[in-house]
Structure 1
Amino acid sequence: MAHVPNPRPTGDFRVSYAADRTLFKTKNETYFVIGGILLVALAPLFFGGYVLSQLILIGIYAIAALGLNVLTGMTGQISLGHGAFFGFGAFASAWIAGNGIPVMLAIPLAGMMTMAVGMIFGIPAARLKGLYLAIATLASQYILQDFFARADWFTGGTYGSLAETASFFGYALDSDASYLYLVLFWVIVSFVGVANLARTRDGRALVAVRDHYLSAEIMGINLTKYRILSFGISSFFAGIGGALYGHYLGFVSAEGFTILLSIEFLAMIIIGGLGSVSGSLLGAAFILLLPQAMEIFANAVATVVPAIAQGTAYIKQMSVGAAIILFLVLEPEGLVHRWRMMRASWKLYPFSH
Structure 2
Amino acid sequence: PAALYWVILPLAGLSVLAAANLFRTRIGRAFIAIRDRDISAEILGIPLLRYKLMSFGLSAFYAGLAGGLFAYFFRSITPESFPLVYSIFFLAAVIVGGMGTILGGILGAAFMTMVPEVLKLAVGLASPWLPNAVAILSPVRTVVFGLLIIGFLIFEPHGLAEIWRRIRRFFHLWPFRT
TM-score (norm 2): 0.91
Give the residue type in structure 2 aligned to 1:251. S
Cα separation, partners in 2 of 1:261 and 1:307, compared to 1, 3 Å = closer
- Structure 1 contact 291–320 (Cα < 8 Å) conserved: no
- Structure 1 contact 217–223 (Cα < 8 Å) conserved: yes
* CA positional deviation for 1:352: 4.0
Residue 94 of structure 1 is matched in structure 2 by none
1:209 to 34, 55, 58: 34
Residue 68 of structure 2 is matched in structure 1 by 243
- Structure 1 contact 273–279 (Cα < 8 Å) conserved: yes
Report the Cα distance in structure 2 between the residues aligned to 1:242 and 1:271, rounded to whole angstroms: 23
Work out which structure has the larger RCO, using CA pairs closer than 8 Å and 6 or more positions apart in sequence: 1
Deviation string 1:45-102 (CA, Å, 9 cap, x unpaired) is xxxxxxxxxxxxxxxxxxxxxxxxxxxxxxxxxxxxxxxxxxxxxxxxxxxxxxxxxx
Cα separation, partners in 2 of 1:194 and 1:230, compared to 1, 3 Å = same
1:187 and 2:7 are equivalent in the alignment: no
* CA positional deviation for 1:207: 0.7
1:278 and 2:112 are equivalent in the alignment: no
Residue 255 of structure 1 is matched in structure 2 by 80
Deviation string 1:157-185 (CA, Å, 9 cap, x unpaired) is xxxxxxxxxxxxxxxxxxx2111110111
Residue 324 of structure 1 is matched in structure 2 by 149
* CA positional deviation for 1:292: 2.1
The structure richer in helix per residue is: 2
- Structure 1 contact 299–312 (Cα < 8 Å) conserved: no
Higher mean C-alpha displacement, 230-239 vs 199-208: 230-239
**Aligned counterparts, 1:66-105, within 5 A:** none
Report the Cα distance in structure 2 between the residues aligned to 1:230 and 1:258, rounded to whole angstroms: 26
2:160 to 315, 326, 335: 335
Residue 55 of structure 1 is matched in structure 2 by none
- Structure 1 contact 292–316 (Cα < 8 Å) conserved: no
| Greater C-alpha Rg | 1
Secondary structure in 2 aligned to 1:320? helix
Residue 25 of structure 2 is matched in structure 1 by 200
* CA positional deviation for 1:235: 1.4
Root-mean-square deviation (CA, aligned residues, Å) is: 1.8
Secondary structure in 2 aligned to 1:306? coil
* CA positional deviation for 1:241: 0.7
Gap regions ≥5 residues in structure 1: 1-175
- Structure 2 contact 88–145 (Cα < 8 Å) conserved: no
Cα separation, partners in 2 of 1:258 and 1:312, compared to 1, 3 Å = closer
2:117 to 288, 292, 295: 292
- Structure 2 contact 97–104 (Cα < 8 Å) conserved: yes
Residue 312 of structure 1 is matched in structure 2 by 137
